[in-house]
Amino acid sequence: MTDMLSQQNFERLAYVAFIAFIFSMPLFLDEFGLNRFSKYLVYGMLGIAISLAWGYAGILNLGQGLFFGIGAYAMAFSLKLAASSTAGGKTPIPDFMVVNAEPNAIPELSSITTGSWIWVPFQSQWFGVAMALAVPAILAGLIAYTLGRSRVSGVYVAIITLALVLLVRLIVIDQQQVTSGFNGLTDLAWFNLFGLELDPYAKSTYLIIAFALTIVLLIARWLVSTRAGLVLQGIRDNEVRARYLGYSVVSYQIFFFVVSAMIAGLAGVLYVVAAEFASPTFLDIAFSITMVVWAAVGGRASLLGACIGAIGLNFIGATLSETESLMNAWQLIIGLIFIVVVLWLPRGLAGLASDLADRFVTRADDSKWNRFKSVKHTQSPANR
C-alpha cells in the first residue's frame, strides 16, 4: 500500500489527470472557448520553459519573451506571405511593404524595401517553423555560454536578459519596413499541416496544441529525471560543490537553457496559429516578467505546477476582466494572489500539493502500522 500511495505515484496521477483534463475540453467548450483555451495551453508551455530555466537550472530569465517573440514572428512571416498577393511581381509581398516601398523599387520580395530580402526563405512555412526553433536555440546558447564563462549569475543574469528583450523589441518597432513596426503582423493565412489547414477555431487545432503541450511536458519531465537533470539540480543547489566534483557546470546550464528557449519558440509558433497575429507586445518586459509570476505561483520547481499556474492565472485573469464589477481591479487581484503565494507558499501551489500528498501517505503508513500492531498483539500467546 505504501508503494501505491508513494509521492511518485501521486505525481504520475497528477500528470494523467492534467492530460485527461486538457483533452476533455472539446466536450465542454464551443469553438470560441476552445480557441481561447488553446492560448492558455500555449502559456502553459511557457510556464514549463520558465520552470526548466529557473526552477531546475537556477537561471532567472526575465527575457523569456525574447524567444517567444522570435518564434512568433518567424511563424508569422511565413503565414503572412501565404496570405499575400504578388503586387505585380513574381513573389508574394506583404501589404505593409507595398506601402513602405522604396521609390521606383522593383515589386519583388527581395528588393521592395530595405531588408525585405530576409523574408524570401519564409515562403516555406516549414522554414518558418525551423527558424522559430533554431534561432532561439542559437541565441540562448550564445547567451548561456557568455554568461557561464564570465561566471555571471543571480540578479545580473536577470538584468541582462531583461535588457536583451528590450533591445530586440526596439529593433522590431524601429524596422517598420521589415516587421510592420507597432502594428505587428495580421491577416495571416492558416498553417498547412500536411494538407490540413489549421482553422484557429477548429477542434482539430485545439487537439494539436494540446498534444504538443503534452509532448513538451513529458519530454521535459523525462529530461529532469535523467542523470543530466539530477546533476543540473545539484548545480542549482551548490554550484561550487558541483565544480569541485568535476562537473562542467556551463555545459549543463547551456543545454537546459537552450531547451527552455526552444520550448518558448515552439510556444510562439502555436500562439500565432491560434491567435492569427504577431505583435511587439510579445517582447514587452511586462510580459516576460508575467511568465515568471506564472511559474512562481504554480511552483517553479515543478514542471506541471508551473504549467498549471500559467493556465490557471490566465483563466482567472480573463474571467475577472470580463466581470463588470471587477473589470478595473482584476490585475490587482492577480497581484494579490502572487503576493500571497510568495509569502505563505514559497514553493507555489505545487509545493502545497506535495505537502498534502506527503501527509496523506504518512497517515496511510501510520494507519497500516497501527493495524499491524493490533493484529500482532491479538496473535501473541499472552492474548490467546
Crossing angle of helices 249-275 and 64-82, rounded to 10°? 40
User: Does residue 89 fall inside a structural domain?
Assistant: yes
Please tell me the least confidently modeled range out of 110-114, 268-272, 379-383.
Answer: 379-383
Number of domains in the chain: 1
- 196: cell is 490540413
| 205 contacts 270 by C-beta, under 8 angstroms | no
Cell numbers 504577431: residue: 278
* Residues 6 or more apart whose Cβ sits within 8 Å of residue 327: 321
- 343-358 pLDDT, tens per residue? 888 888 888 887 777 7
Instruction: Give the pLDDT score at 89.
Output: 63
In this predicted structure, what is the pLDDT of residue 337? 82
Structural domain contains residue 377:
no
The x, y and z cell numbers of residue 316, run together, are 482567472
pLDDT at 134: 97
What are 136-169's pLDDT values in tens digits? 999 999 999 998 888 887 788 889 999 999 999 9
Q: Answer whether residue 50 is part of any domain.
A: yes
pLDDT over threshold 90, residue 384: no
pLDDT in tens, 21-80: 999 999 999 999 999 999 999 999 999 999 999 989 888 888 899 999 999 999 999 999
Distance CA 317, CA 151 (A): 38
* Confidence at 3, pLDDT banded by 50, 70, 90: very low
pLDDT of residue 276: 93
CA–CA separation, 357 and 11 (whole Å): 9
For the chain, the residue count is 384
Most confident of the ranges 2-11, 212-221, 373-382: 212-221
369, pLDDT greater than 60 = no
Is 353 a domain residue? no
Asked if residue 290 has pLDDT above 80, the reply is: yes
pLDDT band at 9; cut points 50, 70, 90:
confident
Grid coordinates in use for 75? Answer: 511563424
In a domain, 14, yes or no: no
> What is the domain range of residue 259?
31-348
For 218-236, write each residue's pLDDT tens digit: 999 999 999 999 998 888 8
C-alpha cell at 184: 505587428
Q: For residue range 66-121, what is the model confidence (pLDDT) as tens digits?
A: 999 999 999 999 999 998 766 656 778 888 888 877 777 777 888 788 888 999 99
Residue 258 and residue 165: Cα distance in Å, rounded? Answer: 16
What mean pLDDT is predicted for residues 270-296? 93
Is 131 buried (19+), middle (13-18) or exposed (0-12) by CB count in 10 A?
buried
